[in-house]
Amino acid sequence: MKSNPPHEPPVPKTGHASSVSHLRGLLEVTRLLRADEDLESLLDACARTVSESLGFATVVITLYRPAWNDFEVVSVHGSEEARVVLMGTVREWADWEPLLDERFNRRGAYFIEHDSFDWESVEQTSFIPQFEPSDDPDAWHPEDALIVPLHGSSSGQPLGFLSVDEPESGRKPTDAELEVLVAVAAHAALAVEAAQEAAIAARHREALEQLLRVSAELTDSKSIESILGAVCDGIESALGFQKVSIDLPEPDTGRLRAQAAVGWDASDDVLLATTDPKDLRPLLDPRFEIEGCYLVPGEEARRLLRRGHGTYSSVMNGRGPKAWNHHWLLVPLHDRHGQVIGMIWADDPDDRLLPSRGRLQALRTFANQATTALASMSQFEEMRFLADHDPLTRLGNRRAFMARLELETSRALRYGSSFSLVVCDLDGFKELNDRFGHLAGDEALEHVADVLRDVLRGSDGAYRLGGDEFGLILVETGEVEVGDVVERVRVSLARSDDEHLAELCASFGVAVCPEQGVTPGELFNAADQAMYESKRSGV
């Protein structure tokens, strides 16, 4: 416990001077409502104004900390000894509640006289000024306490408390003085609430600005990596999550892996690990859904996930009903068919609080931007793909075929190598279309494409030239080898459980470079003629 030097209470102010000072104090605190100051500066100004206008040597402001469910001393106006003892001290609600007993209530303030409360019953770090108590029953005692709750406009629990000590009058407060103190405290509470709301509004403005920047990235047609990186940066800076990643499925396995992230080192296991989307389905339960995001309590997530799943544990945790405590926050990215095509993870909120509904709305909006980016990039990739591929079978198209034929012919002549060209035409395709419909015809073409992909090597090429005609380019392949490939294709075509495709067959024509031609035109004509000869002869 620290103490001030002994002193004598000062001479009381006259009633007129006191009233003017009180009014000035009320006006000054009201002015602070409109002041564009940060919360710390505003609180210091409030404490100083209360001290100077209402005549208390020591003024202490304590605010509620939602992340910790307690109250912290954030401003002390008075002696250095008082600041050293009180600044930053923390008290639980259970320590304040006994002081707010109705027997201490006077005009909305709580005056606890020195002999009316057992201070040993609560955990309190106290500052007791050092002066000799007077025998006058109306004199202020060093161990008297005067507390005014700072009530917000909506919350049932106080925003904090205004505590005052060492009145300049040296006397216990009158009812009129308490009414002024309560009025000043009410305005101070509004100022605190306004500052807190201004901070939230500033974050919303930052979120909007970040969203506009991400939208600009979309129109600039940059890489998907840069766009997803911008989304992560926006969530971190505008919404205050220290860890953010966007996970997309790997093409070969379908497992989710981080494609963009902030807050981790590039070598961190979290970014290197993969996740089966099926493992996350229990977390995407409607009971956890808020504004399109899924906020799952830590214990519930651990219960729902398979043992050993997850490589990261939150560090920005708090305590109490509003605190983040190892929660999982996921935002699924959906395509236009409703399928999950990715996942946003957000963790470690810098205020250690569960995100508000408005904050989750903003997070969902960022997720929508990521979805738009993925859709735009997918459309771009599809357009680029279709420039050289057939949309139905996904094989190369005639344009790609001619370019590859030109390349392989030039390479064969330059290096003295060989390759084979195969032209394939389905037999009875028109009849199949007429009998079973165009859908069956499309299925037949897709079946042919699947067979060609299975039979051919990765270095070979398969192309749909148009209608039911296909072309194959087989590198480093002579007449004997190409015959084996054609036979495998012929056998595989007829191997199907679909009755429409069970008897599917084709006619083939082969030309080997350089034996049957040394230009693309010569080779194609030779293979085409061989294919029609095969069709006529039924071989």
More confident residue, 51 or 120: 51
Residue 402 confidence (pLDDT): 95
What pLDDT, on a 0 to 100 scale, did the predictor assign at position 27?
53
What's the pLDDT band for 17 if we cut at 50, 70, 90?
very low
CATH 3.30.70.270 range(s) for the chain read 398-537
Highest mean pLDDT among 16-30, 206-220, 366-380: 366-380
> Torsions phi, psi of 296, nearest 5?
-115, 125
| pLDDT at residue 14 greater than cutoff 60 | no
How does DSSP classify residue 486? H
Q: What are phi and psi of 423, to 5 degrees?
A: -110, 130
Q: Report pLDDT for 16.
A: 42
Rounded-to-integer distance, Cα 256 and Cα 331, Å: 13
Q: Is 415 left (phi over 0), alpha (psi -120 to 50) or beta?
A: alpha
pLDDT tens track for 305-356: 865 556 688 999 999 899 999 999 999 998 888 888 899 999 999 999 999 9
Using CA atoms, how far apart are residues 470 and 396, in angstroms rounded to an integer? Answer: 10
CA 20 to chain centre: 53
pLDDT value of residue 199 = 79
CATH topology of domain 223-381: Beta-Lactamase (3.30.450)
The per-residue pLDDT for 155 is: 61
Q: Percentage of residues in the chain with pLDDT exceeding 90? A: 47
Give dist(CA 504, CA 501) in Å, integer.
Answer: 5
> Can you give the pLDDT at residue 539?
57
- Which of the following is catalytic: 95, 468, 484, 528? 468
Whether residue 433 has pLDDT greater than 80: yes
Q: How does residue 429 score in pLDDT terms, banded at 50, 70 and 90?
A: confident
468 is catalytic: yes
**Tens digits of residue pLDDT in 149-170:** 998 876 667 899 999 999 999 9
Residues of the chain with CATH 3.30.450.40: 15-198, 223-381
Q: Which two tokens stand for residue 157?
A: 């629990």
Considering the domain 398-537, what is its CATH architecture?
2-Layer Sandwich (3.30)
The pTM for the full model equals 0.67
CB of 478 closer than 8 Å to CB of 512: yes
Q: Which residue do the tokens 């029609």 mark? A: 532
pLDDT on residue 67 = 92
Q: Which of 207, 241, 245, 208 is nearest to 229 (CA)?
A: 245
Q: What is the DSSP letter of 171?
A: B
4 pLDDT exceeds 60? Answer: no
Cα–Cα distance list, 379 to 22, 382, 384, 398 (Å): 69, 5, 9, 22
The pLDDT tens digits for 381-417 are 667 788 899 999 999 999 999 999 999 999 999 999 9
Burial pattern 59-69, b for ≥16 Cβ within 10 A else e, equals: bbbbbbbbbbb
Please name every residue paired with 147 in a beta bridge, in sequence order, or none if there are none.
Answer: 110, 163
**Which whole number is the average pLDDT over 498-521?**
86
Tell me which residue of 422, 410, 398, 413 sits closest to 488, measured CA to CA: 422
Look at residue 426 and tell me whether its pLDDT is greater than 50: yes
What percentage of the chain has pLDDT greater than the value 70? 87
Domain 15-198 has CATH 1.20.140.10: no
